[in-house]
Amino acid sequence: MRMSNNTSNKEVGRFVECLFQEKVKEQGLDIVKRKGWYDFVVEDEHRVEIKSCMLSNRNQGSRRLGRFNFHTRQILNRIKSNNVWVGFYVHHYDDALCLGFVEGRKLPAKVELTYHKTLDLPLLCFEDFLETMLYGE
């Protein structure tokens, strides 16, 4: 899927969710897309929320870039209290980069996280995330 510089936030979100879903399927794992306050269920029990942001927006005005938004404090609190895994992806022109994954309970109490603050979290790469999620620490 090719992305342009005029891509909406929703399109970026769908693009990144598709990338994540395909990568999980490549590992031979069952993954189901959900509607609601988290995005996926992996192997019928592990909840995952995917967050994405853009780092560039040529010709798009004054959008706030480099920010991951949980939308409401209620959603953030649900993610934290249910320890939902959160994956952070950055969209830049035609690519998406996975910054990493963190357990919901390790998120700060901020509804909006900047790209730089996200890097301060104890992020796991995709492979370590799967291993920790499926088999524990």
Which residues make Cβ contacts (< 8 Å) with residue 17, sequence separation at least 6? 33, 39, 40, 50
pLDDT at 94: 74
Q: Name all contacts of 20-27 with Cβ < 8 Å and 24+ positions apart.
A: 20/48, 20/50, 20/87, 20/89, 20/98, 23/126, 24/130, 27/130
Predicted local distance difference test score (pLDDT) of residue 56: 64
pLDDT at 1: 46
pLDDT on residue 2 = 46
Which pLDDT value is given to residue 101?
A: 98
Which residues of the chain, if any, have pLDDT below 50?
Answer: 1-5
pLDDT at 10 (0 to 100): 75
Going across the sheet that includes 31-33, the strands are 31-33, 40-42, 46-54, 85-92, 95-103
**Type and span of the H or E element at 113:** strand 112-114
DSSP for 21-69, written as a single string:
HHHHHHTT--EEE--SSS-EEETTTEEEEEEEEES--TTS-SPPPSEEE
Q: What are the CA-CA distances from residue 59 to residues 90, 94, 118, 121 (Å)?
A: 19, 15, 26, 31
Query: Which of helix, strand or coil describes residue 77?
Result: helix
Looking at residue 58, what is its pLDDT? 55
Q: Note the pLDDT of residue 57.
A: 59
Check residue 133 and give its pLDDT. 95
Q: What is the predicted pLDDT for the residue at 11? A: 79
How confident is the model at residue 93, as a pLDDT? 72
